[in-house]
């Protein structure tokens, strides 16, 4: 089968590999029907994910059909259409039991697929701890509708959940890339009084105003002033920082009103400064970290009910054998790309 493989820093290539087989009784083999490319795949390509293992198949966003299951897999059966979770987790350790599956202490735990073990930009993938890692897709939900459930949409859902948003709040979301838009969709479910999206790309601002016309839009340069003008208490009640640009952490806490919650979803390339003397008296609460991807069933239900629709994010579609071209477009943000679906 064909597999898009991490050869070495700076180089991915489509190679020929054996179809994976079950190793543990908790494994499942999934026939990938649709996958996608994530910014984290580019981080691997650029060598900024040291734990990524050369030789592995990349890709951690995918849906497919269960092809084989180990004897301890009970959550899904052969033939089920499923979403694959970006995180591998045991469901049994202290962290899993508290919903902090990102911190699962299993040796397989965390981001394994398409990083430490073979991932999904291929035809078949072995999913460890499949009882936790797979969720059945409801019959009325298409593969494209379910494609982002295990990764970017899980991230947006988690970010909105931990931000404790109320209907009185003005929520500022910084960044309208794929994760920013997924975050926006999940914030909208909380029905806050106002949502402001700050995005530097005019193309992406146009995308937001076209699809979500009730959202207020601003640019990083005008954000501070705009938020003061368009909020009730001199700043945003909730700030979700999804951009991860060099100055967006500072922008996030500056735009927050006193006693606000600032949720950091972004993954930065550099250390960030927390200038405590300058923010003294602002009494902010910061929430940081990586997605706890344990709400996939709930997210699938919301998609089934028509409350979340991420299909407008799929701007491009390519077959697996044209994945190099897809990466070129995604990496260079050509042609208005938001997300690319890779089909088999
Ligand atoms: Zn990802
Ligand atoms: Zn665990």
pLDDT of 310 strictly over 90: yes
Q: Determine the distance separating the centroid of ligand 2 and the alpha carbon of 110, expressed in angstroms.
A: 9
Integer Cα distance of 278 and 301 in angstroms: 44
Q: How far is Cα 11 from Cα 257, in angstroms, rounded to an integer?
A: 45
> In 173-287, where does DSSP find H-type helix?
178-188, 202-211, 223-229, 248-255
Kindly tell me if the per-residue pLDDT of 268 is higher than 90.
Answer: no
From the CA of 131, the nearest ligand is 2
Q: Express as a percent the part of the chain with pLDDT over 70.
A: 100
CA of 42 to the centre of ligand 2 (A): 27
Closest ligand relative to 90 C-alpha: 2
Q: What is the pLDDT of residues 57-95, one digit of tens each?
A: 999 999 999 999 999 999 999 999 999 999 999 999 999
Q: How far is the CA of 121 from the centre of ligand 2 (A)?
A: 26
Over the chain, what is the mean pLDDT? 96
Comparing CA positions, the residue from 344, 157, 159 lying closest to residue 243 is: 159
- How many angstroms separate the alpha carbon of residue 276 from the centre of ligand 1? 32
6-39 pLDDT, tens digit per residue, is: 999 999 999 999 999 999 999 999 999 999 999 9
How much distance in Å is there from the Cα of 94 to the middle of ligand 2? Answer: 7
263, 287 Cβ separation under 8 angstroms? yes
Centroid of ligand 1 to alpha carbon of 302 (angstroms): 21
Q: Which domains does the chain have, with CATH numbers?
A: 2-151+293-343 (3.90.180.10), 154-288 (3.40.50.720)
The answer for residues whose C-beta is within 8 angstroms of residue 137's C-beta and 6 or more apart is 63, 80, 81, 82, 83, 143, 146, 300
Residue 75 sits at φ, ψ, to 5 deg, of -75, -25
Using the predicted structure, report yes or no on whether residue 297 has a pLDDT greater than 90.
Answer: yes
Q: Which ligand is nearest to the CA of 93?
A: 2
Q: Cα torsion at 148, 158, 189, 251 (round to 10°)?
A: -100
Q: What is the pLDDT of residues 99-119, one digit of tens each?
A: 999 999 999 899 999 999 999
Rounded distance, CA 188 to CA 194, Å?
A: 9
The residue assigned the tokens 């500072």 is 250
Concatenated DSSP letters of 64-100: EEEEEE-TT--S--TT-EEEE-SEE--S-SHHHHTT-
Ligand nearest to the CA of 110: 2
């Amino acid at each position: 089968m064909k597999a898009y493989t991490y050869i070495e820093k700076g180089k991915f290539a489509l190679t020929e590999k054996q179809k994976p087989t079950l190793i543990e009784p908790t494994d499942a083999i999934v026939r990938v029907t649709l996958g996608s490319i994530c910014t984290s795949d580019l981080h691997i390509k650029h060598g900024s994910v040291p734990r990524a293992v050369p030789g592995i198949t990349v890709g951690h966003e995918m849906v497919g059909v269960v092809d084989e299951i180990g004897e301890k897999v009970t959550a899904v059966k052969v033939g089920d259409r499923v979403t694959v979770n970006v995180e591998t987790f045991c469901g049994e350790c202290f962290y899993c039991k508290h919903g902090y599956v990102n911190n699962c202490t299993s040796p397989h735990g965390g981001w394994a697929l398409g990083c430490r073990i073979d991932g999904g930009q291929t035809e078949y993938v072995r999913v460890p701890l499949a009882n936790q890692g797979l969720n059945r897709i409801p019959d009325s939900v298409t593969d494209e509708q379910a494609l982002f459930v295990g990764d970017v949409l899980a991230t947006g859902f988690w970010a909105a959940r931990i931000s404790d948003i109320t209907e009185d709040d003005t929520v500022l979301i910084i960044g309208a890339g794929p994760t920013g838009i997924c975050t926006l969709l999940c914030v909208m479910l909380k029905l806050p009084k106002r949502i402001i999206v700050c995005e530097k790309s005019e193309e992406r601002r146009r995308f937001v105003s076209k699809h979500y016309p009730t959202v207020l839009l601003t640019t990083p340069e005008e954000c501070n002033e705009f938020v003061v003008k368009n909020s009730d208490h001199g700043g945003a009640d909730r700030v979700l920082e999804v951009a991860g640009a060099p100055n967006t952490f500072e922008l996030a806490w500056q735009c927050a009103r006193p006693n606000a919650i600032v949720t950091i979803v972004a993954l930065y390339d550099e250390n960030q400064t927390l200038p405590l003397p300058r923010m003294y008296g602002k009494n902010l609460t910061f929430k940081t970290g990586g997605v706890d991807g344990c709400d996939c069933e709930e997210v699938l239900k919301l998609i089934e009910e028509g409350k979340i629709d991420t299909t407008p994010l799929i701007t491009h579609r390519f077959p697996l054998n044209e994945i190099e071209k897809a990466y070129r477009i995604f990496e260079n943000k050509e042609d208005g790309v938001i997300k690319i679906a890779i089909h088999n």
